[in-house]
Amino acid sequence: MPKRNARFEKIQTILKTAYPIVKTQLDHKSPFELLIATILSAQCTDRQVNSVTPNLFEKLQTPEAFAKARITTIEKLIHSTGFYHNKAKSIKNCAKALLENHNGEVPEAMEELVKLPGVGRKTANVVRGAAFGYPGMVVDTHVGRISRRLGMTKNKDAVKVEFDLMKIIPEDNWNDFGLHLIYFGRAVCNARKPKCVSCPIENLCKSEDKTI
């Protein structure tokens, strides 16, 4: 059980009120599409990924299609998401691994997901939470930055941040809390100039880089 902390509980309550309905912003119609979209989202905005995936999934609809496609074909289809050489290689190899080890299906277990090329714990948590309903703490740059500003962790390594947050946030709120911080990071608590004047949790924040 997480150790109770009144300040952290207030933060959770306020963010729930500010963002009552949260879900992954990556458009998808299946666990496989979500897996590919999440791989593409590395160092790229969800909006840009969503502008690419309709055409991508129209051209390549299954793991078999991705596995058989030329790397150059995949690269052209995902070019605007950045780092397209590495992403194309990861996606193609991921599709091959799904066919070879999982009958073309996306596995649900964390230990199986992280074995797939291009898949780390963040991607695995996104897929497990949004596609299969498992509790998981997604840690992206927003979650890491804000949780440090709020004093929930001192770590910069994403996996260490994930486990720090899991110790203080109730398990049934893991999925939503990560998304709350992502929504909050995009709208208010951005990296360079956080909008502290309009921040609903400013009085609960102990960050040294406040803008007020």
Give the residue numbers marked as catalytic: 122, 140
Distance between CA atoms of 100 and 109, rounded to whole angstroms? 17
State the Cα–Cα distance between residues 68 and 18, nearest whole angstrom: 45
Joined together, the tokens standing for residue 48 give 């840009």
How far is residue 64's CA from residue 56's CA, in Å, rounded to a whole number?
14
CB of 168 within 8 A of CB of 3?
A: yes
The length of the chain is: 212
Please state whether 117 falls in left (phi above 0), alpha (psi between -120 and 50) or beta. Answer: beta
Q: Could you give the CA distance from residue 195 to residue 199 in angstroms, rounded to a whole number?
A: 6
Provide the CB-side half-sphere exposure for 192 (13 A, CA): 0
* 179 closest CA partner among 142, 145, 132: 142
Task: Work out the angle between the directed axes of helices 158-168 and 141-149 (0-180°, nearest 10).
Answer: 60
